Amino acid sequence: MPLQLYEKEKILDACFTVFVKNGYTHTTTAVLAESAGISKALIFHHFKSKKALYLSVLERCFKNMESVVNDENMDGYTDYFEARSKSGYLRIEYLKKHQDVNKIILEAFYNTPDELKEDIQKFRAHMETKRGSIHDKRGMKLKELFDNIPMREGVDRALAYELVEIIMQHFNKKHLSEMVDEDKIMDKEFWQEFKEKKSLFLDMLRFGIEQKKD
């Protein structure tokens, strides 16, 4: 690793720890420099400002997390409803193991300092663009699995898929909304209940809710 890149990584490591402990607003460049064991001038040599440094720390957190989350192997599923029921939890498992990462993400996205609000909006858009191709690939695999489902007579496949997607969007939004609660992320019982409820919804869609008359 080139010396300059190595120095930047050491700075990011040290500053990540400080931002997690103190938060963005209560962290000064002097504290960051002291923690990294370098001068403020050297910090500004690598990063233009405290804001740029914080965003670099945040981006590295996401890069490390997404390298794990995006490795979820959708090819391992042969059944659409099983894939929908069991997939999508790697991010939760990652944040359980890396609570400091979770803490800085919660601050950045859900308790955003006023100074960072515009930058965080741009950061969100940037990350969504980067994840787009991965989401598209997963979507194609899910659609392929759905197309293999034998439909009951009279059921429109396109409308059926749209209905399932509406339910999944509901659970995805609920999933994201619960991730703002640091205690819930660590609550195994909560996520087990969440998974079970999601599976029950999918079973109702798969098998119907009205009892057939004899």
Q: Based on the fold, state whether residues 83 and 38 are members of the same structural domain.
A: no
Residue 214: band (very low, low, confident or very high) from pLDDT cuts 50, 70, 90: low
Number of domains in the chain: 2
CA atoms within 13 A on the CB side of 134: 15
Residue 147's Cβ-count burial label (10 Å; 0-12, 13-18, 19+) is exposed
In this predicted structure, the answer to whether residue 161 has a pLDDT above a threshold of 90 is: yes
Model pTM greater than 0.85?
no
The H or E element spanning position 33 is helix 29-36
pLDDT per residue over 126-144, tens digit each?
888 877 667 778 888 899 9
Does residue 70 lie in a domain region? yes
Q: Based on the fold, state whether residues 202 and 177 are members of the same structural domain.
A: yes
Q: Based on the fold, state whether residues 93 and 159 are members of the same structural domain.
A: yes
Does residue 52 lie in a domain region? no
Does residue 213 lie in a domain region? no
The H or E element spanning position 93 is helix 90-97
Residue 19's Cβ-count burial label (10 Å; 0-12, 13-18, 19+) is buried
Q: Based on the fold, state whether residues 142 and 188 are members of the same structural domain.
A: yes
Does residue 20 lie in a domain region? yes
Q: Based on the fold, state whether residues 37 and 75 are members of the same structural domain.
A: no
Which has the higher per-residue pLDDT, 122 or 181?
Answer: 122
In this predicted structure, the answer to whether residue 112 has a pLDDT above a threshold of 60 is: yes
**pLDDT at site 100:** 94
Contacts of 171 (CB under 8 A, 6+ apart): 198, 201
pLDDT per residue over 2-50, tens digit each?
445 558 888 899 999 999 999 999 999 999 999 888 888 888 888 889 9
What token pair was written down for 31?
């504290």
What token pair was written down for 187?
């609550």
CATH number of the domain residue 14 falls in: 1.10.10.60
**Which range marks the domain in which residue 122 is found?**
59-207
**pLDDT at site 48:** 87
The CB density around residue 47, as the number of other CB atoms within 10 Å, is 21
